[in-house]
Amino acid sequence: MLKDFITDPIPNSPFLKSEQFCPFPRASDRERWQTISSETVEEWTTFSLPFVGYSWPALSANHFAVYKREGNLLVYLNAFWERRSALGSLVLTECLEGEGRLIHDIVNGIMCICEETTWVLPHHNAHIKQNEEECLPSLEDHEVELASSETGALLAITYYLLQDRLDHMSMRIRSRIMKELRTRLFDPYMQRDDYWWMGFSGAPHINNWNPWCNGNMLICFLFAEEDERIRAQGVHKIMRSLDVFLGKYPEDGCCDEGPMYWGSSGGGLYRCLDMLHKASGGRIDIFSDPLVQDIGRYIYRVHIHDHYFVDFADGDAIINPSGIAYGYGLSISDEHLIRLGASAPNSKPILLNWFSMYRIIVDMFQEKERKALKATAPYLKDAWMPFKEVMTAREAEGSVKGLYLAAKGGSNYESHNHNDVGNFIVYADGLPVIIDLGTENYHAQTFSPDRYDLWYLQSQYHNLPTINGILQHEGEHYKATAAKYTLAEDQAELYLDIALAYPQEAGINKWLRQCQLNRGSQVNVRIIDTFELLMPCATIEYNFMTPYEPKLSEAGDIQLVFGSNRFVTLHYDVDELAFTSEKIVLTDERLIRNWGETVYRIVLAEKKPIRLGKREMTLFI
C-alpha cells in the first residue's frame, strides 16, 4: 500500500516542492477563477454579504462549559461553526471576485480564530485524560482531532490562496497562521503516536476520524509547510496511518458508519489519495487496488434516488456526495461512480456546519465538466457486501420506479452503532416508506455510557421484533448468524438468524429473518420471520417505522400514502396479529430535516401466546 512509497524524506522524497504544488489556482490567478460559473459566483457573493463588517461571535467560557454541565453541544458548536463559515465564505468570495474588498474582514477572521484558547470542541476535549473532570479548556490543550484539524486546514488553504494579498497587508498574518499550525497541530501530530484514530496504539475501531484528521493534516503540511524535510516527514506519517485504516477496512468496501460518514471515511480516503497523487506528480498511485476501488463503489451501491441513501447507523438519509464521488470515479475509471457524482449538484453554502474548503473548491472547478455530461445516477439493480452483510435491491436496473429494499445483518458493535441487526428499509419510486430514522443532533448522552437509552438507537424504533418486552443489546456478541444472500432473476434475498442479537432473557432459540425483493408479475417486498422460542411468549411485537400516517383499509391491510395519490400496502395476517400505531412528533432539527415533523411506528402484536411461528409481512404498490 502507501508504505511502498515511503523513502528517506530527503533527498529521495517523491513529493513536489511546496512551490510546485498547485492543486487549484491561487487568488492571483484571475484567468482560472474567472472560469467559475456566474451562478456560483452570485451564490457565494450573496452568502458572504452578512460577513462584510462582521461582528465575530464570541466563543465564551460559559458556552464551552455548558456541554459539561448540561450536555448541550450546539450552543458552543454553532458559534464555532459560524466563525469558520464566515471566514471560508469571505475567502472564497475574494477569490471569485479578485477585488481585494474583503481582505480586512478576512484578516479579522484569521486573527479571531488564531486567538481562540483552543480549537478542540468540548466533547472532544473531554477525551483528554487530564481534562476528564474539567469543564474549561487550557492554552496547553493542543490535540489533533476533527475540529482542530478542520480549523488548521481552513487556515492552511487561506494561507495558500491569499498569500500575496495577506503579505501585502502585513507579513505577520501568515507568520501567525504558521505559528498556530505548528503549536496546535504539527508538533503534537509528529510527537505523538497515541491518538486512537491514527491506528498505531491498537484501537479495535478505526473509523472516519482516521482519513478525516489525516486529510486535514495533509492539507496543512502540503499547503502551508515550506520546510521540505518537515513536510515530507509529516506526509510520510500520514501515509503510514492511512495504511492502518486500509488494513482494517472491510474487504467489500462497505462503510459500516453509513453513507453520510462515507464522505469522511471512504470519501476522506479519496481526498488523501488524490492529494498524494497530485503532490507526488502522479508517482503515488494506489487507485488500482481492489479495496480502494470497492470503497469508492460503496456509495452508489447504497444510493436510492436523488439525495436519498441507505442510512443504517448514525447519519442522515439525505446527503450529497457530489464532487467526491465524481473525482473518485475518474480516479478508478468507474462509470457508475462518475455518473453518480456528475448527477449531484454542487455543495451549497451552509452556515452552521463544517466548512470543508478543499472539497468546496474542487466542486467549483469540476462544476462545468460535470454538468456537461448531463448524467443520471446509475440506479444499481443489486448489491451485496458480505463482510458487513448489507444487501440492496431495486425493481429494475437504471430506474427509480418501483420498490427498493435494503437490509443488514452484521453486529451491534459497529462504528456509530444502533441496535439494528436484521433491520431493513423500503422505498417506493425513490421515496421513503419504511425507514431507518438515523440520529438526532449529537449531545453529551450520545457519547456516554447511557447512549442506548436514546430511543432512536433502540431496536424497537427500528424495523425489528420485540420479544417478551426484550430489545436487542449492544456489543460484539450481539450479532446475526447464518447470513446467506441469494440472487435469482426474479428475487433478491438476505437470510439471517438474528437470535443472538437479543440477550438470553428474551428466550429465543432461533429467529430466522428473510428479507426479499420479489420481481416479476407481482412485485413485492416480503419480510418472513420464522421463530422458535424456549417457551410460549405472550408479547411479541413487529415494529415498522414510517414517515406516513398508517391507514387501516377495510380488508385489514395498512396503507401508507406517498407521492401524489400513490400508496404502499402492508399486508399482514389479521387473524394472528393486532395493529396499533404510535405517532411521534419530532423536535430535533436533524430528524426533522430528514423526515419532516412527524413519524409513525406501526406495531403488529401477536394476539395470543406462541412458541413456534412463521409470520409473513408483504409490501406492494
Our CA dihedral for 353, 357, 358, 363, rounded to 10 degrees, sits at 80
Based on C-alpha coordinates, what's the Rg of the chain?
26
Decide the pairing of beta strands 390-394 and 382-385.
Answer: antiparallel
Q: Give the Cα separation of 245 and 215 in Å (integer).
A: 12
Could you give the residue ranges of the DSSP H alpha helices within 98-145? 103-114, 122-125
Binned at pLDDT 50, 70 and 90, residue 275 comes out as very high
Q: Find, among 259, 512, 305, 312, the residue nearest to 404 by Cα.
A: 305
pLDDT value, residue 565: 83
- What percent of the chain has pLDDT above 90? 85
Give me the pLDDT at residue 130, please. 55
Return the minimum-mean-pLDDT range out of 92-101, 116-125, 181-190, 595-604.
116-125
Q: Can you tell me the mean pLDDT for 584-613?
A: 97
From the CB of residue 233, how many other CB atoms can be counted at a distance below 10 Å?
Answer: 18
Measured in degrees and rounded to the nearest 5, phi and psi for residue 513 equal: -115, 130
User: What are the beta bridge partners of residue 566?
Assistant: 562
Q: Which residue has the higher pLDDT, 447 or 544?
A: 544
pLDDT given at position 540: 98
Is pLDDT above 70 for 57?
yes
Q: Which of 70-74, 174-178, 192-196 has the lowest mean pLDDT?
A: 70-74
Residue 303's nearest CA partner among 427, 412, 463 is 427
Residue 313 and residue 412: Cα distance in Å, rounded?
A: 10
The string of DSSP codes covering 278-324 is: HHTTT----TTSHHHHHHHHHHHHTEEETTEE---SSS-SB---HHH
More confident residue, 564 or 524: 524
pLDDT in tens, 451-480: 999 999 999 999 999 999 999 999 999 999
Dihedral sign (CA 328, 330, 335, 338): positive
* For range 140-163, the mean pLDDT: 95
Measured from the Cβ of residue 476, the count of other Cβ atoms closer than 10 Å reads 10
Q: Give residue 362's pLDDT band: very low, low, confident or very high (50, 70, 90).
A: very high
* Percent of the chain whose pLDDT exceeds 70: 97
Cα(110)–Cα(107) distance, integer angstroms = 5
Average pLDDT, the chain: 94
SS3 at position 525? strand
If you search the block for the grid coordinates 439493480, which residue do you land on? 381
**Helical (H) or strand (E) element with 103:** helix 103-114
Give the pLDDT band of residue 547 (cuts 50, 70, 90). very high
Q: Which of 173-177, 204-208, 345-349 has the lowest mean pLDDT?
A: 345-349
Give phi and psi for 179, each to the nearest 5: -60, -45
pLDDT confidence tier of residue 127, bands split at 50, 70 and 90: low
Q: E strands along 207-262, which residues?
A: none
pTM: 0.94
Q: Taking residues 133-147, report their average pLDDT.
A: 85
pLDDT of residue 348: 75
